[in-house]
């Protein structure tokens, strides 16, 4: 069984090197992975990965959400894997062919995570985007359909809401890694939130999530280290 803190992914959602490394120094003993997204990676480049590794044994989650024509995504993934992150994300929207192409040309140990449905999306937004009613009325069906594509293509895991992680695990098996964003600890829930489909850390892990992405509740706390430890305690309660 993993240590509760190892479930926690902290997103370094800042563009500044010093700000990012300040959070790394603060949280290096209290989270399992640091997530480097588009903002920080574009701002600082690969050097930020090496800098994190120099001060922390936590894993690197390179959240680039690659989405382009197949050959471009394949080459971008290979370029990203040179830096040996634990995870790199790829969108499912191009279909299983692009995912399979990436999986079959993975040069190292970097695990491929397929993005299913962004946690900022809800029924109204899916309708505007032109999705069929069967998916607009049942987001979980859309998540499962994309997760199945990812598994069949050879991806190591998926990114999905904690609301769907239990269904994904029951249907596709525990071997498929599930990473859940949109996580809010019970002690931070608010009415207005841009994440539309959120759950608590304990609920997500209890339903089968392998990693939970928790940003603002830790980043905006008066004591981020204490907040991270409280999250780990909440996760421990799920066991």
Rounded CA separation 184/193 (Å): 10
| Active-site residue (options: 35, 47, 65, 146) | 65
Based on the residue annotation, tell me whether 65 is a catalytic residue of this protein.
Answer: yes
Rounded CA separation 230/222 (Å): 13
Among candidate residues 94, 104, 85, the one with its CA nearest the CA of residue 37: 85
Q: Are 63 and 33 in contact (CB under 8 A)?
A: no
Which residues are designated catalytic? 65
């Amino acid at each position: 069984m993993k240590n509760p803190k190892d479930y926690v992914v902290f997103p370094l959602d800042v563009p500044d090197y010093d700000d990012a490394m300040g959070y790394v120094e603060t949280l290096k003993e209290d989270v399992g992975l640091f997530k480097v997204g588009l903002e920080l990676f574009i701002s600082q480049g690969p050097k930020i990965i090496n800098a994190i590794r120099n001060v922390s044994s936590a894993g690197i989650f390179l959240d680039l959400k690659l989405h382009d024509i197949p050959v471009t995504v394949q080459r971008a993934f290979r370029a990203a894997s040179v830096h040996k992150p634990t995870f790199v994300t790829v969108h499912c929207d191009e279909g299983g062919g692009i995912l399979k192409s990436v999986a079959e040309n993975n040069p190292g140990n970097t695990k491929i995570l397929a993005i299913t449905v962004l946690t900022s999306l809800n029924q109204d937004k899916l309708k505007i985007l032109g999705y069929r009613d069967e998916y607009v009325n049942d987001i979980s069906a859309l998540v499962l359909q994309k997760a199945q594509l990812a598994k069949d293509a050879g991806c190591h895991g998926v990114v999905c809401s904690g609301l769907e992680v239990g269904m994904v695990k029951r249907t596709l098996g525990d071997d498929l890694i599930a990473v859940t964003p949109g996580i809010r600890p019970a002690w931070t829930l608010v009415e207005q939130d841009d994440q539309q489909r959120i759950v608590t850390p304990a609920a997500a892990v209890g339903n089968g999530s392998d990693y939970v992405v928790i940003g603002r509740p830790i980043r905006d706390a008066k004591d981020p280290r204490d907040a991270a430890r409280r999250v780990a305690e909440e996760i421990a309660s799920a066991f």
